[in-house]
A and B are shown apart, each in its own frame.
Chain A
Amino acid sequence: MSAGQRPPLTAWIAGVGFLAPGLPDWASAAAVLRGEAQHIAAPSLLPAPAILPPAERRRASRVVKTTLAIGLEAAAQAGADVATLATVFAASGADGHNCHALCEQLAGDDRQISPTRFHNSVHNAAAGYWGIATKAMAPCQVICAYDASFGAGLLDALGQVVVDRQTTLLIAYDSEYPQPLFAKRPVPDVGGVALLLTPERSERSLAEICVAPSGQPAATMAEADLEALRLAIPAMRALPLLQKLARGEGGSVVVDYLPAIPLQIAIAPC
């Protein structure tokens, strides 16, 4: 069968979650993306995850707080029951502070690391806590593609939506390393975007998207601060798509994936 006869990578966006420096949620980010509000530089604000029991809430790391915040925000907007959702987590790295603490200790004489530090070191730690918090037993994917992680996550999430006909929550996020790793990987702060993707249109649908590889270069943001954000935090490569969504614009936009294959996204507001 040729590729032409196969189903396109299409889904409906039914909810958005967002968190970035100076943009604490989707409502505030959408206002900035529409040009209705100023983007004021500020560190990312991480809400305490009310879904976790108090002891876990205090211990939750920055990546766990980020993913719970944006994932729950997208699910709430869509009116979706998080316990039923398949998830795709896409991140350019794991918990940077935890990684630094482990490497520092393993370089010293006392290598008896903490078991909690160890299980928090896995790339899928935030995904694991999501499952525990939401009681979701559906498939949970965890992807890394360095700066291309958003695009890779979007492709796999669409695969689940189109092939498995499964509503899927894409959670793309990144966090910072402390020094000395920061000098090697200068992601400045946490940031993330969540998209709830459904196989069918519903009364909650915000827009339909259809994704294909493109030979065109990725779109840039006209606003210098947003363009800097797009480049600094890999998950923010989604910003050109989110701007169209915030403005309710249809048409086509190209977002970064791997070199030579950016993704062209046709978007039609509902």
Chain B
Amino acid sequence: MTPLLLSAYTATTCLGRGLAATRAALRDGRSGLAPCAFESVALDTWIGEVAAVDSEKLPESLAIYDCRNNRLTRLGLETDGFADRVRATVARYGSDRIGVFLGTSTAGILQTELAYRRRDPASGALPDDFHYRTTHNSFSLAEFTRDYFGLTGMAMAISTACSSSAKVFAAAARQLELGSIDAAVVGGVDTLCLTTLYGFASLQLTSARPCRPYDSERNGISIGEGAAFALLERCDQPAAGSVLLLGAGESSDAYHMSSPHPEGLGARLAMEAALRSAGLAAADIGYINLHGTATPANDAAEGKAVAALFGDRVPCSSTKGATGHTLGAAGAVEAVICALALGDGLLPGSPGTEHLDPAIPLDYLRQARAGRPRVALSNSFGFGGSNCSLIFGVAP
């Protein structure tokens, strides 16, 4: 593919709001995970909750979108000057030339979960103040973002579980290549809700401890929430040091709804497709941000695929011990972490990981270390066997 410029980017997770907080936490090897005290949830697990989401107020004219997921969307957009960069881009290209491509797994379903506690005792009806379209529906965050900036061009939500906000980069890149748009707001937002907390617990995929990616004792995920965005544009002559999207690869496991292909076959296909798309070889990759959810099966499958393609030559880590697994936001959060790694020369470590799994032969970073990667790969794999790998580079 033709490289695309990330002309602005931002991430907000339990590590803090914005790039400076994220960068500092990654440098210090800090985790934002804490024992679960979310809403009325009674589960023995740790979560990555973003501070002060519910004190965020939406503009009066967009009040119909009000829910935790859109509050976090706005909070994320108004961080690191991202929203101002979008507004400047609208002024440059026009409101109909900016696409919106956002990933989520559950959008604002928490709003529906809460509304079901307030059903009319006689009729069973949901309360009048519950708005399905603008909160629960998977499109709500994209429609909110489109309206927030007064955009009139194309928009879509992508919802492929935990690969959602990686796949938005691929979808936006296609439309930029076609010239249907001149810039794209891409990203992902997912927020804590009962469906995912109780759901992953029902599959026995949540850990009672902070998650330990690639640890021999790993026993499950820590669910997090997050909002991360990038502004993608075509760019013939990027300034030195700019971060570029170089390639994207997608594949399907065609194996099982909630377990990865045991040999990581789908994961390998996605990484190979990303390398092809970027016109690069495995030897060109300087850092891999692994999907690394910390379930026994996921890390084993991904580890096999990465080892088969890259051997143990490439420094890699999962940052989910720091951020938690932000599900539909994970692809975008980790894209931004790759951008930071490329820009700062910092290879993030893996808080929580103590004893590396000897069965997985990778150059796995438990602690952050300095490095100068020119190209980084990020993996995102989701339920239903949906895989996406992205490759980012830094302009010479």
A contact set with B: CB distance below 8 Å: 1-7, 9, 92-94, 99, 102-104, 106-107, 111-115, 117-125, 127-129, 131-132, 134-146, 148-149, 152, 155-156, 159-160, 162-164, 179-181, 183-185, 213, 257-258, 260-261
Residues on B with C-beta less than 8 A from A129 are 257, 384
A140 touching B161 in the complex, CB below 8 Å, given contacts A1-B179, A6-B178, A185-B132? no
By the criterion of a CB under 8 Å from any partner CB, how many residues of chain B are at the interface? 70
Contact between B234 and A1 (Cβ–Cβ < 8 Å)?
Answer: yes
Residues on A with C-beta less than 8 A from B180 are 3, 9, 155, 213
25 contacts between A and B (CB under 8 A): A6-B179, A102-B195, A103-B113, A113-B202, A119-B384, A123-B105, A128-B384, A131-B252, A131-B253, A132-B385, A136-B254, A139-B251, A140-B160, A142-B384, A142-B386, A143-B156, A144-B139, A146-B143, A155-B156, A155-B175, A159-B178, A163-B177, A180-B126, A183-B125, A213-B96
Contact between B234 and A185 (Cβ–Cβ < 8 Å)?
Answer: no
Residues on A with C-beta less than 8 A from B273 are 139
Contact between A114 and B202 (Cβ–Cβ < 8 Å)?
Answer: yes
Chain B residues numbered 289-341 whose CB sits less than 8 Å from any CB in chain A: none
B29 lies within 8 A of chain A by Cβ? no
B81 to chain A, nearest CB (A): 27
B49 lies within 8 A of chain A by Cβ? no
A131 touching B254 in the complex, CB below 8 Å, given contacts A104-B116, A179-B124? yes
CA distance A207 to B385 in the complex (A): 33
B119 lies within 8 A of chain A by Cβ? yes
Known interface pairs A119-B384, A139-B251; 8 further A-B residue pairs with C-beta atoms within 8 A, sorted by A's residue number: A2-B179, A3-B179, A119-B258, A121-B199, A123-B138, A137-B254, A140-B252, A149-B139
Contact between A107 and B383 (Cβ–Cβ < 8 Å)?
Answer: no
Q: For residue B112, which residue of chain A has the nearest CB?
A: A103
Chain B residues numbered 225-283 whose CB sits less than 8 Å from any CB in chain A: 234, 250-258, 265-266, 269, 273
Binds A, one of B18-26, B147-155, B215-223, B346-354: B147-155
Residues on B with C-beta less than 8 A from A141 are 158, 160, 167, 171, 250
B362 lies within 8 A of chain A by Cβ? no
Contact between A184 and B154 (Cβ–Cβ < 8 Å)?
Answer: no
A145 touching B126 in the complex, CB below 8 Å, given contacts A107-B116, A118-B195, A128-B384? no
Task: Indicate the member of A112, A160, A164 with the most B CB atoms within 10 Å.
Answer: A164
Q: Which of B112, B175, B200, B252 contacts A181 (CB 8 A)?
A: B112
Contact between B234 and A127 (Cβ–Cβ < 8 Å)?
Answer: no
A137 touching B253 in the complex, CB below 8 Å, given contacts A111-B198, A159-B174, A258-B155? yes
B203 lies within 8 A of chain A by Cβ? yes
Contact between B154 and A261 (Cβ–Cβ < 8 Å)?
Answer: yes
B89 lies within 8 A of chain A by Cβ? no
Q: Which of B42, B116, B178, B234 contacts A9 (CB 8 A)?
A: B178
B252 to chain A, nearest CB (A): 4
Q: For residue A259, which residue of chain B has the nearest CB?
A: B152
CA distance A178 to B174 in the complex (A): 37
Contact between A111 and B194 (Cβ–Cβ < 8 Å)?
Answer: yes
Residues on B with C-beta less than 8 A from A115 are 199, 202-203, 258
Residues on A with C-beta less than 8 A from B153 are 213, 261
Residues on B with C-beta less than 8 A from A143 are 156-159
A92 to chain B, nearest CB (A): 7
B contact set with A: CB distance below 8 Å: 1, 42, 96, 105, 109, 112-113, 116-117, 119, 123-126, 130-133, 137-139, 142-143, 146, 152-161, 167, 170-171, 174-175, 177-180, 182, 194-195, 198-200, 202-203, 234, 250-258, 265-266, 269, 273, 382-386
B177 to chain A, nearest CB (A): 5
CA distance A117 to B258 in the complex (A): 11
Contact between B174 and A163 (Cβ–Cβ < 8 Å)?
Answer: yes
Q: Which of A6, A134, A145, A213 contacts B254 (CB 8 A)?
A: A134
Contact between A119 and B257 (Cβ–Cβ < 8 Å)?
Answer: yes
Residues on A with C-beta less than 8 A from B257 are 119-120, 125, 128-129, 132
Contact between A119 and B254 (Cβ–Cβ < 8 Å)?
Answer: no
Closest 7 CB pairs of A and B: A128-B384, A159-B174, A118-B199, A6-B179, A123-B159, A139-B250, A3-B179
CA distance A146 to B202 in the complex (A): 29
A106 touching B198 in the complex, CB below 8 Å, given contacts A115-B203, A139-B250, A152-B154? yes
A261 touching B152 in the complex, CB below 8 Å, given contacts A113-B198, A132-B257, A185-B132? yes
Q: Which of B117, B256, B386 contacts A132 (CB 8 A)?
A: B256
Residues on A with C-beta less than 8 A from B157 are 143-145
Contact between A156 and B258 (Cβ–Cβ < 8 Å)?
Answer: no
Residues on A with C-beta less than 8 A from B155 are 145, 148, 152, 258
CA distance A142 to B198 in the complex (A): 24
